[in-house]
Every structure is written in structure tokens, then in C-alpha cells.
Amino acid sequence: MSDTAHRPAAVIILAAGEGTRMKSTTPKVLHRIGGDTLLGHAMRAARGAGADSTVVVIRHQRDRVAAFIEECNAKGESRVLVADQDEVKGTGRAAECGLDVLPADLTGTVVVTMGDVPLLTAETISQLTTAHVEAGAAVTVITSILDDAKMYGRVIRDADGNVERIVEFKDADETQRAVREINSGIYAFDADVLRAQLAKVTTDNAQGEKYLTDVLALAREDGGRVIAHVLQDLWQTEGVNDRTQLAELGRVLNQRTCERHMRAGVTIVDPASTWIDVDVEIGQDTTLLPGTQLLGATTVGAESVVGPEVTLTDCEVGDRATIRRAEGHLAVVHDDATVGPYSYLRPGTVLGAKGKIGGFVETKNAQIGAGAKVPHLTYCGDATIGDGANIGAGTIFANYDGVTKGHTNVGRHSFVGSNSVLVAPVDIADGAYVAAGSAITGAVAPGQIAIARGNQRNIDGWVDRRRAGTATADAAHAAERAAQSVEGPPSSETLS
Ligand code: UD1
Ligand code: MG
């Protein structure tokens, strides 16, 4: 916010409407884009504009919407009030119900926005408020000039070009419908004017509703100044009515988020296939390759490479890390570490600096030390792996006995041979070895190697006796003949 910006005394967010075109059991304003609900985005804008109070007016599925607001309040973000709209319909009644939960003597600027308009920014609310206060206006309405003004309310100006009133499409005549300047539905009101004029608004119109738009004509009749704040950026006032608009606004929001990061020094090779939630943080000179999704509270440090085809939700990635073709949730990847391709990092995974989680590896609640490697084909659940340890290909951390989960420790610089099973709970000390193919059920001390598998035995002549006449037997004979011609007759010693 600039120093000259004026803060609204209150923002009233209208969100009582039904949203039938969503065809959903979820209330419209709780549908999500960019990692937050539509209402969440409206609440962020109000908060960002520094409103002293924010009120959300609800009615349709009020308990679910109220629960969402409570959830946000519980996160310690500034407290948002809830106002219940009664059975009187219309945006005017909604605004009135919003005013009712604010102090009766509230003065200053009251901004009215909508819960289904997610791209409106805090900056625009601040600019609207500033324009309103500096003009000494009673009402300032955000308007846009559209080629196709559709069913929006029309802005009717007098001969001098001053805003006279707004006429709803359903109440408009042909001349009024030809007007291309439309009401966005977002306004700044002087609090006293809003209170006084709403009391006079009737439901005498085509829809039998109490129109908020009627306040403009009434304020002007009372000698107040009514002005328009024309917004060029049409997306900011665009609302969501159905799922096609939800997708479209989601795409535009994502494009704006990508642009913000690119301007801050992040390379995004293909913004169209890169999805970044609004709260995600990314350091300078990090590169995002196509098909990357950074979601929730994910943070990525500087000079890392993420993608192609990576989805990270609520993850923390350090500097100079590389993550290719992977899925991560609530995982931490420290500086210079590498992940992928085809890795699945489940909650509680912490990969130390310069560590590695490689191809077809699944990890869960696993602390993997600095420089430690889990490179190939492994399930690593409920484990602590020390710095510099190496987990061989195909190792399975058997953490679940069907009843309880157990923990496995692998010490610093220890080495687990390929295709081993570590049956939890079990401890492998620092500086220990596990031979390939072992099933480890007991502790291994420092400096030991544990071998837990059957010894190898070779049985001579078995193929001839049990697989006579097969291609395998022919191959064996040919190999024996070749060896004989070089080395003389083979040993006849047999095992049985
Ligand atoms: C409204 C404006 C119209 C403007 C358009 C912009 C009025 C009378 N008309 O029309 O001039 O061009 O928005 O999109 O204001 N709501 C409530 N309670 C209600 C009715 C609506 O909270 O009783 C909320 C809705 O949830 C929605 C917003 O107000 O968020 C707008 O309601 P909507 O029915 O879409 O108004 P429009 O008829 O489109
Ligand atoms: Mg509408």
C-alpha cells in the first residue's frame, strides 16, 4: 500500500447467493482456484487492503461457509465477521445485513465486494478507496467498458457525463441496454450514506429484490457525489457462475502467479502447463520445467530445478536441489539434494543436503541424512538413515507387521546391500554393512557385516538329469565342450 492510500473502515463481502449454475453440493464460494477458495481470495484482498473490519454475508449453505470462515479465523489471520442475510432478497439487503454486524456509529469508507469474484486485488480496493476519499464522493462504483455488456447492470450517465444511476438489465429499456459501461458490483460507499440510503431502498423492480445499485441514484438525489472508477483489467471484476468460468479464472490466476514469479527471477519454461498456488514461494534462478505443480504452502529455494512432471504439495525444497518426475507431500528436500525420476515422497520425508532419492523409491516418515543415498527401487518407511549411508537397490524397510509400525535406524556411512529386507524395529549401527539379499531382524553393531540368507550350493549335472533335451541342456553341453577343448576334461566332483 502506498503512503497516500486510504484504508477502508470495512469491507463487506456478499456471498449469500445460491450459485445454482455450479450444479454442486459444495457452496459456490467454497470452490477452489490457485490453492484457495473463491471466498478465501476475496478475504485476502480485503485483508491486503488493510480493512479495519471484514464482514462476509452468507445465507445459502450458511453453516459450511461459516465453518470455512472460522477455519481462516483460527489460523490467526485477521478476524472476519459473519452476517446472516434474512429472507429479504437482493444485494441491497445483503449489504444492509453486513452493516448490521458492524458498529452502528461506524464512519469512513465501506467497500462492498463479492465472494465469487476471486481476482480482485488488494491494490484495486486501495485505489478505489483512495479515489473515493480524494473525490469526497458519497459512492464510487467500479465500472468497465465491455464490447458485449451481457446481463450486467448498466451505468447511466447524465448529459455532463456524471454517473446518475445504475439500471439492472432486467429493468432496462432498449436505449439503456445499448450502454456498454457496466456495473462491476464493487463499490466504495461513505458509511453514513450507505446506511441512510439503504433504509429507503424498496423491492419495487423486475426481480422483487432490494437492489444495492439503487443507493447510487438515492445518494445523488440527496446531493451526494457519485463517481465511477473505470477499471481496464476486466478479469479483476469477473465472477464465477459455472464451472467453465471457474476453470477460466483459475487459468488466469495461475498465469498471473507465474508472471509474478518470472518477474522475480524464476525461469518457467512453459507457464501454460505449470500450476502454482498463490502462497508458494520460489527463489531466484530456480527453473520450473513443464508439467510442474507447486501447491499449498510449498517453498522452493534458489537455483533449483523442478520438473518436468513434478507435483509438490506443502513441501519445502532448498537451494540447488533437483527434483524430476516426482510426487511429494509434506516432504523436505535440503540443499543440493536430488530426487527422481519416479519418486514418491510421502509426509515426514526429510532428505538431507546432497542426499539422493532415486527412481521408483517411495519414502514416508523417513529422515535421510546428508549425502545419504536411496537410489533405486526402494520402500523406505519409518526410518532414520545417517549421513553418507547407502541403501542398495530394491531394499525394503518392512515397517508394518500387520498390527503395529516399527522404526528402522541405519547409521552413518553404513551400507545396505541390494535386495535386503530390514524388518522393523531394527538398528543398524554407524559404519556397518548388510550383505545383499539379507533379511535383517536383529541389531548390527559398528564395524560388523550382517549376512542373513541361505548359503549358495552348486549341484553338478542337475540340468542333464532334470532338464534333458532342453535348449538349456544343449547350451550347457556346448559350453562344456568348448571348455574341454581349451582346458582339458572337467572335474567330475558332484554335490547332491
Ligand atoms: C449485480 C448487480 C449488477 C452488476 C452485477 C455484477 C445488483 C442489483 N445488481 O447483479 O448491477 O452488474 O452484480 O456482477 O446489485 N448476493 C447476496 N444476497 C442476495 C443476492 C446476491 O449476498 O440476496 C450476492 C451474491 O452471492 C453475489 C453478489 O451478491 O456474490 C451478486 O449477486 P448476483 O445475483 O450475481 O447479482 P447480479 O444480478 O448478477
Ligand atoms: Mg452475478
**For the segment 15-31, what is each residue's pLDDT rounded down to a tens digit?**
999 889 999 999 999 99
- pLDDT digits 0-9 by tens, 456-469: 999 999 999 999 99
pLDDT at residue 122 tops 60: yes
**Does residue 32 sit in the same domain as residue 106?**
yes
CA 224 to chain centre: 44
- Mean pLDDT calculated for residue range 125-141: 98
Question: Across all residues in the chain, what is the average pLDDT?
Answer: 96
Residue 48, C-alpha cell as written in the block = 491486503
Sign, CA torsion 174/176/181/183: negative
- pLDDT digits 0-9 by tens, 209-225: 999 999 999 999 999 99
**Does residue 140 sit in the same domain as residue 212?**
yes
**Does residue 223 sit in the same domain as residue 269?**
no
pLDDT score at 487: 72
Tell me which residue has cell 505449470: 274
The domain boundary, picked from 450, 469, 487, lies at 450
**Does residue 162 sit in the same domain as residue 276?**
no
Residue 287, C-alpha cell as written in the block = 527453473
pLDDT score at 52: 95
Is 496 within the bounds of a domain? Answer: no
- Mean pLDDT calculated for residue range 160-165: 96
Is 3 within the bounds of a domain? Answer: no
- Mean pLDDT calculated for residue range 97-121: 98
**Does residue 232 sit in the same domain as residue 305?**
no
Q: Ligand 1 within 6 A of 98 CB?
A: no
- Mean pLDDT calculated for residue range 88-113: 97
Query: Please, which pLDDT band fits residue 489 given cuts at 50, 70 and 90?
Result: low
Check residue 237 and report its DSSP letter: G
pLDDT at residue 182 tops 50: yes
pLDDT at residue 4 tops 70: no
Atom of ligand 1 nearest to the CA of 182: 12
CA-nearest residue, atom 34 of ligand 1: 17
Tell me which residue has cell 552413518: 412
pLDDT score at 88: 95
Q: How many Cβ atoms from other residues are within 10 Å of residue 207's Cβ?
A: 12
Is 410 within the bounds of a domain? Answer: yes
Is 384 within the bounds of a domain? Answer: yes
pLDDT score at 6: 85
Is 255 within the bounds of a domain? Answer: no
Query: Please, which pLDDT band fits residue 496 given cuts at 50, 70 and 90?
Result: very low
User: Which H helix or E strand runs over 332?
Assistant: strand 332-333
**Does residue 297 sit in the same domain as residue 353?**
yes
Is 229 within the bounds of a domain? Answer: yes
Given ligand 1 and candidates 14, 56, 91, which is best to mutate, with the most ligand atoms within 8 Å of its CB? 91
Determine the distance separating the centroid of ligand 1 and the alpha carbon of 110, expressed in angstroms.
Answer: 17
pLDDT at residue 494 tops 90: no
Parent domain of 78: 10-237
- pLDDT digits 0-9 by tens, 295-348: 999 999 999 999 999 999 999 999 999 999 999 999 999 999 999 999 999 999
pLDDT at residue 491 tops 80: no
Query: Please, which pLDDT band fits residue 369 given cuts at 50, 70 and 90?
Result: very high
Number of domains in the chain: 2
pLDDT at residue 490 tops 70: no
CA-nearest residue, atom 37 of ligand 1: 152
- CATH number of the domain that 151 lies in? 3.90.550.10
- CATH number of the domain that 283 lies in? 2.160.10.10
Determine the distance separating the centroid of ligand 1 and the alpha carbon of 239, expressed in angstroms.
Answer: 10
Q: Are strands 396-398 and 109-114 parallel, antiparallel or unpaired?
A: unpaired
**Does residue 412 sit in the same domain as residue 350?**
yes
**Does residue 156 sit in the same domain as residue 279?**
no
**Does residue 339 sit in the same domain as residue 389?**
yes
- Cα-Cα end-to-end distance for the chain: 87
Is 301 within the bounds of a domain? Answer: yes
- pLDDT digits 0-9 by tens, 392-423: 999 999 999 999 999 999 999 999 999 999 99
**Does residue 316 sit in the same domain as residue 362?**
yes
Check residue 240 and report its DSSP letter: P
**Does residue 232 sit in the same domain as residue 281?**
no
Is 477 within the bounds of a domain? Answer: no
**Does residue 327 sit in the same domain as residue 390?**
yes
| pTM for the whole structure | 0.94
| Catalytic choice (41, 132, 229, 376) | 376
Query: Please, which pLDDT band fits residue 76 given cuts at 50, 70 and 90?
Result: confident
376 belongs to the catalytic site: yes
- Mean pLDDT calculated for residue range 27-48: 98
Determine the distance separating the centroid of ligand 1 and the alpha carbon of 4, expressed in angstroms.
Answer: 31
Atom of ligand 1 nearest to the CA of 151: 12
| Bond into 341 cis (ω within 30) | yes
